[in-house]
Structure 1
Amino acid sequence: MMGMEILMNVTPQETRVALVENGVLVELNLERARGFGLVGNIYKGKVNRVLPGMDAAFVDIGLERAAFLHASDVAPAHHEALPEGEEVAREPIQRLLHEGQEILVQVIKDPMGTKGARLTTHITIPSRYLVLLPDNSVVGVSTRIEAETERERLKTLLGQLQSETTAKPGLIARTAADGATHDALKQDVEFLEKLWQSIDERAKQAKAGSEVYADLPLSLRILRDMAGVTLERVRIDSRETLQKVTEFANRYMVELLPHIEHYPGERPIFDLYNIEDEIEKALDRKVELKSGGYLIFDQTEAMTTIDINTGGFVGHRNLEETTFKTNLEAAQAIARQLRLRNLGGIIIVDFIDMTQEEHKRQVLRALEKGMEKDYARSQICEVSPLGLVEMTRKRTRDSLAHQLCEPCPTCGGRGYLKSAETVCFEMFREILREARQFDAQELLVLASQSVVDLLLDEESASVAQLQEFIGIPIRFQVETLYTQEQFDVVPV
């Protein structure tokens, strides 16, 4: 059985990293030379505006749009470690920040659409096994490490390592720290301490609105975050990146070294598992299921909806059985597509109605099981009385469609156009309006090919009637650059 494989396709303009599981693409990450992801980057910011009504502030970090900092993400000046489960009473934003103030901030959400980046002043710096919290002194363990004995071992170890540091920063064990040795954790702490010192020095000298620290490039970040996952191999089609990845692995992930290899093939690396085709499919609304059924994905501002149809699947013995089989297959496909498309926020799944409670339970279980391998946190609710499943998936970066596409300039993202017939009737109303207003000898109508064709063919009798009514001739001219909805009526 094949395991997890990473393929890296690198060009000077773009790095694309594909995660392939058992020969199937499950996740795609990309980073372009322009517009890198900003999550994890640290900036010296300047408070632009304090908004008491929103309990937040806008901060200039040198980007096109001001970034957003909510009061809940502002650390109090002297932050003591609190016992687990306790929270510090929060001050209102106007007590925490003032306009013109310079602060060190970290991006926790990339700018998306019209929204600026989201910030925090709780700085965290991750390494392979740990996360360092320079303004805190907490010692914690990721909740995904469940064994009580391992949690205790790590807490004790981290407490010991923290006491050996000069600044006594907070340390949290990541999921990958499960089973890590004392020496491995010690190395991480030393690396993080050095890194924080250099960030701190740079921050003191930096001008407001400038970057102080950028997270690792995608090719290295993906390996750091995959720590603890057994990788069969990492194939890279660029010698330069191969060298950087090998150096990084040599320093932090020695066990990965034998699995890293250069891909010198004639065929592009992403042709290996039909990855380019899979990316194309992940941008479509419709996803075909093997049984003949299909899914329809619709991404809106507020949520993503997924509709399931039996399509050409005539199925087994009866309707309930057909429905159940299609829904089961759909649940597995949805789990994969959510990860591949990187869809986040609220997701509503409209499964085909099932009558048997046991079938509903099994479909829900199949969806939960499919989501287990996903790194993004998700929450799935029970089937609602209307047969819908509501779920959320944590969103930290833009979806694949938002990264690779832009709204259609013709329809402006609506997904449909006014029909040629509708435009003709709008035009008739405009002609009547203009004929009354202007003393013209003739009216010139500029429109798209499809609209002019309709006017001269099916609507020619209406045009003749209209000419007779207004008493002046109407001349039509095709404007090739006009969309179907655009037209002009010009008095001549």
Structure 2
Amino acid sequence: MSEEILINVTPRETRVAVVENGMLQEVHIERASKRGYVGNIYKGRVQRVMPGMQAAFVDIGLARAAFLHASDIVRALQGMVVEEGEAPPPTPPIHELVREGQDVIVQVVKDPIGSKGARLTTQLSIPSRYLVLLPFAKVLGVSVRIEDEAERARLKEALQVQLPDAGEKGPGYIIRTNAEGQPGEAMAEDIVYLQKVWRVIEEGMRESPVGRCIYEDLSLPLRALRDLMRRDVEKVRVDSRESYDRMVQFIERFMPEMVEVLEHYPGERPIFDLFGVEDEIQRALQKDVPLKSGGHLIIDQTEAMTTVDVNTGAFLGHRNLEDTVYRTNLEAAQAVARQLRLRNLGGIIIIDFIDMADAEHRRQVLRQLEKSLARDHAKTTVYEFSPLGLVEMTRKRTTESLERQLCEPCPACSGRGSLKTLETVTYEIFREITRAVRQFEAETLLVLAPPKVVAKILEEESAAVAELEEFIGKTIRLQADERYSQEQFDVVLL
């Protein structure tokens, strides 16, 4: 499988696209005015302790107080570290762990999403190319994505050669997926880098005021190199010379074997246009996703969950209905996995595949979904078909979805996705007129409304207006205003 990473840099926005076999799989966006906070370490102060929620709200200098749950502080503050494979200890009451007014060192694990503040942890982790440093832990672990047991053992042994006390006295380390196939010397370089970073953080922990960011994660282009680079990445193309130069310095220091992969794109045509990424992003903002078979997906993102409905559409198949349904569901399973990555959808996801009578078909569709999710960087958990024929799954969410990064709720419908009909608005106007007359004295009432509503009243409801004038004994005037949305109107007393 060939993979390319495309990086588009402008003064106010940076975008990274992951393209596999010519198809866009992931989009990451970072704007200068709204840079993400995940990975940043702050010196915070506890504002409120909430025993009923087993959590505390912490001031870290952001617009909203951040959320710190007891389960994210118990091991760090009490030294109760968990060895690899062990169950976590029980969580003590929150008031035994922190108190109001206490200063704490915290790391952001989830950006503010919607009306929720950032999610925090005191279990700090600092990533490098091949390792993750866990300053307050004593664990020595290997990423679960490295499945080969012999390779896991080799990497663990190589790290123990560099750090004889790792896993006993601390700090702890996790070997990342990128380390697969790498020699011990590569991890040694990362250890030196992480130790330098940690010394700077320790100094900031002592000297920084409350609300100060002690450690800030890398910019998006450098994070892309650190987190997205794999052996099957054939090219990394960046359209900014300045960013390219910084990336060259980073790649020469941390992954010199990948220098040849990095390439500056000097072309006049925008890099995302050249590879069709711009069009794919626009399609990812639509609810409807067409399938090659003629079927389609309908994706709805709500506050509570995301739902995916699979429809056969025009696909009739060649044998029978069960065969048609099975083939459509197989294709849909692949498409769903891609759309979750592309749209960065997280939390609870419900997939309504077309009903299948054959248990083996259901098993194969589920297997196809899990296989297609295997390359997803975010952690996913898929459950069996429910009695209603639904597949429930979860996908870890750390940042806003693509739609919520690029779009805002419709001002006309306030995000409902529907508008009141012209008839409904007309009758609301009539009720408001009656209400106003009973409360205030006036000879004439002026109705300001959008042109469509005024036209509806004049053409179809003129008799009703005449009856209302006779009933209230007042004159009603109508005035169209282009600035009003379909649901807006005002009744003015003259």
TM-score by length of 2: 0.95
Confirm whether residue 392 of structure 1 aligns to residue 384 of structure 2: no
Confirm whether residue 271 of structure 1 aligns to residue 273 of structure 2: yes
Match of 2:156 in 1: 155
Q: Distance between the aligned counterparts of 1:41 and 1:433, measured in 2?
A: 55
Match of 1:88 in 2: 89
The 3 A distance-change label for structure 1 pair 312 and 460 is farther
The 3 A distance-change label for structure 1 pair 36 and 461 is same
Match of 1:316 in 2: 318
Residues 12-411 of structure 1 aligned to structure 2 (within 5 Å)? 12-74=11-73, 75-79=75-79, 81-84=81-84, 85-163=86-164, 168-411=170-413
The 3 A distance-change label for structure 1 pair 149 and 318 is closer
- Aligned CA-pair RMSD: 1.8
Give the partner amino acid of 1:117.
Answer: A
SS at match of 1:77: helix
**Cα displacement (A) at 1:150:** 2.8
SS at match of 1:457: helix
**Cα displacement (A) at 1:77:** 3.4
**Cα displacement (A) at 1:164:** 7.0
Give the partner amino acid of 2:77.
Answer: A
Q: Distance between the aligned counterparts of 1:346 and 1:409, measured in 2?
A: 27
The 3 A distance-change label for structure 1 pair 82 and 393 is closer
Q: Which deviates the most, 129-138 or 353-362?
A: 353-362
The 3 A distance-change label for structure 1 pair 351 and 87 is closer
Q: Distance between the aligned counterparts of 1:11 and 1:271, measured in 2?
A: 15
> Is the 1:52–1:93 contact (alpha carbons within 8 Å) kept by the matching residues of 2?
yes
Q: Distance between the aligned counterparts of 1:87 and 1:388, measured in 2?
A: 32
Q: Distance between the aligned counterparts of 1:227 and 1:183, measured in 2?
A: 19
SS at match of 1:163: coil
The 3 A distance-change label for structure 1 pair 82 and 289 is closer
Q: Distance between the aligned counterparts of 1:80 and 1:51, measured in 2?
A: 22
> Is the 2:44–2:106 contact (alpha carbons within 8 Å) kept by the matching residues of 1?
yes
**Cα displacement (A) at 1:275:** 0.6
Percent of residue pairs identical: 59
Unaligned stretches of 5+ residues in structure 2: none
The 3 A distance-change label for structure 1 pair 430 and 77 is closer
> Is the 1:344–1:393 contact (alpha carbons within 8 Å) kept by the matching residues of 2?
yes
1:22-62 superposed Cα distances (whole Å, 9 cap, x missing partner): 11111111111111111111011111111111111111111
Unaligned stretches of 5+ residues in structure 1: none
Q: Distance between the aligned counterparts of 2:288 and 2:478, measured in 1?
A: 39
**Cα displacement (A) at 1:80:** 5.3
SS at match of 1:297: strand
The 3 A distance-change label for structure 1 pair 164 and 364 is closer
TM-score by length of 1: 0.96
**Cα displacement (A) at 1:168:** 4.2
1:417-439 superposed Cα distances (whole Å, 9 cap, x missing partner): 11110011111122222233333
> Is the 1:76–1:96 contact (alpha carbons within 8 Å) kept by the matching residues of 2?
no
Q: Distance between the aligned counterparts of 1:236 and 1:49, measured in 2?
A: 45
Give the partner amino acid of 1:127.
Answer: S
The 3 A distance-change label for structure 1 pair 311 and 404 is same
Count of residue pairs brought into register by the alignment = 491
Q: Distance between the aligned counterparts of 1:466 and 1:80, measured in 2?
A: 75
Q: Which deviates the most, 359-368 or 21-30?
A: 359-368
